Amino acid sequence: MAMNVSSACFSVLSCKKPNRIRAVASEDFATTAALKTDTEDKLKLGGSELKVTRLGIGAWSWGDTSYWNNFQWDDQKLKAAKAAFNGSLDCGITFFDTAEVYGSPLALGAENSETLLGRFIKQRENDNPGEEVVVATKFAALPWRFGRQSVISALKDSLNRLGLSSVDLYQLHWPGIWGNEGYIDGLGDAVEQGLVKAVGVSNYSEKRLRDAYERLKKRGIPLASNQVNYSLIYRLPEQNGVKAACDELGVTLIAYSPIAQGALTGKYKPENPPSGPRGRIYTPEFLTKLQPLLIRIKEIGGNYGKTPTQVVLNWLIAQENVVPIPGAKNAAQAKEFVGALGWRLSNEEVDELRSLASEISPVTGFPVEKL
């Protein structure tokens, strides 16, 4: 995660809870006050009653040794993840997204992301009783899972790992191979049983999205969200009708990999590509083509006193009806993310960045999008 922080940037401030703004220079005070207002001005997820901060935190990397963390998990990484959780809450970001398949519970020393998030919540509760934490997790549509009851069973297992009696948002992680009607029915059952406040899907095409929306609507249950891969350099949701359908139906689009797994932060160069599996996606060749866009992102950020990370997150927020959920491995990253709130790129800058990004061939997304 790039930490190209200027003296005017909120990232350098030590985040406090929104109702405890410390004395700062006048321009920093204005920035902090704006962030306080923006995190308190929450967004309703779709037609549900669930409200979330306009930016959330993804917990995909927590406990993982198969894609993130250079195939290692240790006490240092655990402490950093906990600091990311606490740092997010200190800055007013209360929305956390995890999944039952995040983390590496079978690997030596690693842990399940849900288990870690549940532990962090419990430890935080001891010092901050009653503090709001909005939890989203996901059901894995594994080939051997059939029907609506499999959703309820998996949800109860997730609740056990999280140490919670209910979650705020429960999502189908990807479309089922053998059909989705039973899974959608399971989401409805979860709402009616009081196990969740809202339900959503993930990696759903326009057609699947509309089908899920209509099936839940018949039971009087709104489809709150569709979580898809969406960033400045991966705009498939704009091209395949998903974004337009979400806007039409009143379904919130939750954007995962919103900073392209770090590629849009400016941290990586052709001579310094990301390690692990990401290096096979964001290759030196791709990063070479990306440089003109990154240079312009940095220039625009400089005009606002913002980092490239904050610019590309703000670009997504500017699309409306979008909640980005960048992954935070440590407190510094979490505090940087909140600097994407409280200001707005101009329409001309939004269009210019899209135009520049259109000249770059997109990377491959999550393959189930095209099933």
Alpha helix locations (H) across 193-283?
A: 206-217, 236-239, 242-249, 278-281
What sign does the CA torsion over 272, 276, 282, 284 have? positive
Tell me which residues are annotated as active site. 102
pLDDT at 29: 39
pLDDT at 59: 97
Which of 276, 299, 289, 278 has its CA nearest to residue 352?
A: 299
Which of 286, 276, 226 has its CA nearest to residue 256?
A: 226
pLDDT at 1: 36
Burial of 128 (0-12, 13-18, 19+ CB in 10 A): middle
Torsions phi, psi for 297 (to 5 deg) = -60, -45
- Whether the CB-CB separation of 250 and 223 falls below 8 Å is answered with no
As a residue count, the chain comes to: 371
pLDDT at 39: 54
Burial of 152 (0-12, 13-18, 19+ CB in 10 A): middle
| DSSP code, position 209 | H
Give the up-direction half-sphere exposure of residue 113: CA atoms within 13 A in the CB hemisphere: 26
pLDDT in tens, the chain (371 residues): 333 333 333 333 456 543 332 233 334 434 444 454 455 689 999 999 999 999 999 999 999 988 888 888 899 999 999 999 999 999 999 999 999 999 976 665 678 999 999 999 999 999 899 999 999 999 999 999 999 999 999 999 999 999 999 999 999 999 998 889 999 999 999 999 999 999 999 999 999 999 999 999 999 999 999 999 999 999 999 999 999 999 999 999 999 999 999 999 999 999 999 988 889 899 999 999 999 999 999 999 999 999 999 999 999 999 999 999 999 999 999 999 999 999 999 999 999 999 999 999 877 665 555 55
- Whether the CB-CB separation of 20 and 289 falls below 8 Å is answered with no
CA distance 158 to 100: 6
Superfamily classification of domain 42-262+310-344: NADP-dependent oxidoreductase domain (3.20.20.100)
pLDDT at 20: 30
Cα-Cα-Cα-Cα torsion 272, 277, 280, 284, nearest 10 degrees, comes to -10
CA distance 144 to 314: 40
pLDDT at 31: 45
| DSSP code, position 264 | T
- Whether the CB-CB separation of 240 and 273 falls below 8 Å is answered with no
pLDDT at 144: 94
Which residues are within 8 A (CB) of 240 and not within 5 positions of it... i.e. 6 or more apart? 205, 206, 369
- Whether the CB-CB separation of 336 and 53 falls below 8 Å is answered with no
Which of 260, 281, 255, 254 has its CA nearest to residue 364?
A: 281
CA distance 364 to 301: 27
- Whether the CB-CB separation of 47 and 224 falls below 8 Å is answered with yes
What tokens appear for 214 in the block? 């209509």
Phi-psi region of 51 (alpha: psi -120 to 50; beta: other; left: phi over 0): beta
